[in-house]
A and B are shown apart, each in its own frame.
Chain A
Amino acid sequence: GAVVSQHPSWVICKSGTSVKIECRSLDFQATTMFWYRQFPKQSLMLMATSNEGSKATYEQGVEKDKFLINHASLTLSTLTVTSAHPEDSSFYICSARPPSGRNQETQYFGPGTRLLVL
């Protein structure tokens, strides 16, 4: 299957700092990437849809000024959690949609980034 990587895999930071998470599609070009958040024993909650070369589309209730998304190339999207607070502690997972002809209707997920804000 397609490979999507995330970096870092886990991060601990102090309240008020910013954290950047990278998502890379390693063996295909992804015009669309997605960012999810998952709390313990909960399902994935879509935060935003990231399209290469354009502004991200945020889901209702997700602050775009707090969760900055940059999809600078066809293989890289970044999520920056600005001025992180303890309530932002969660498991952040990205996914990428492969190009047409390769299960284009589904998504391949990264391994996730665990964020702990102290």
Chain B
Amino acid sequence: QKEVEQDPGPLSVPEGAIVSLNCTYSNSAFQYFMWYRQYSRKGPELLMYTYSSGNKEDGRFTAQVDKSSKYISLFIRDSQPSDSATYLCAMRRNQAGTALIFGKGTTLSVSS
């Protein structure tokens, strides 16, 4: 079993839809959880960053972490065509110097 699992999609939705992206993980030591957005042929861009469990909201984006289920989610409200990209979840342990472990990424396409 991989440490981080993420459905690669592709996921296609109409403009204005609510999008739900998810990752599961197996290592209970993960404490820091991030979502990155990557446009084609570009480097990943940090979207959301969460420590431990709970919700975090930033504009149209909401990140949720459920450590008991080892499950994290990113919700996008009122999706726009400009949201079309690959979304990568990433996480790491609470230990200085450890690297991020990434999911494979989910490709999202929002049509106008």
Interface residues of A (CB under 8 A from B): 1, 4, 6, 32, 34, 41-44, 46, 49, 91, 93, 95, 103, 105-112, 114
Contact = CB atoms under 8 A, between A and B. Distances in A.
B43 A43 contact: no
A7 to B, nearest CB: 13
Interface of B: 6, 8, 32, 34, 36, 41-46, 49, 51, 88, 92, 97, 99-100, 102-105
A107 B41 contact: no
Q: 9 closest A-B pairs (Cβ-Cβ)?
A: A109-B43, A43-B104, A111-B43, A105-B32, A112-B43, A109-B44, A43-B102, A44-B102, A106-B49
A6 B44 CA distance: 13
Nearest to B100: A107
Contacts, number: 52
Given A43-B104, A43-B105, A105 B51 contact: yes
B46 A111 contact: no
A110 B45 CA distance: 9
B46 A112 contact: no
13 contacts: A4-B43, A6-B43, A34-B100, A42-B104, A43-B102, A49-B99, A103-B46, A103-B49, A105-B51, A106-B49, A109-B36, A109-B44, A112-B43
A113 B70 CA distance: 33
Contacts of B97: 32, 49
Contacts of B8: 41
A12 to B, nearest CB: 15
Nearest to B51: A105
Contact of B99 (A6, A41, A46, A91): A46
Contacts of B6: 43
B91 to A, nearest CB: 10
Contacts of A44: 44, 88, 102
A4 B45 CA distance: 11
Considering residues A41, A43, A44, which has the most beta carbons from chain B within 10 angstroms of its beta carbon? A43
A115 B103 CA distance: 23
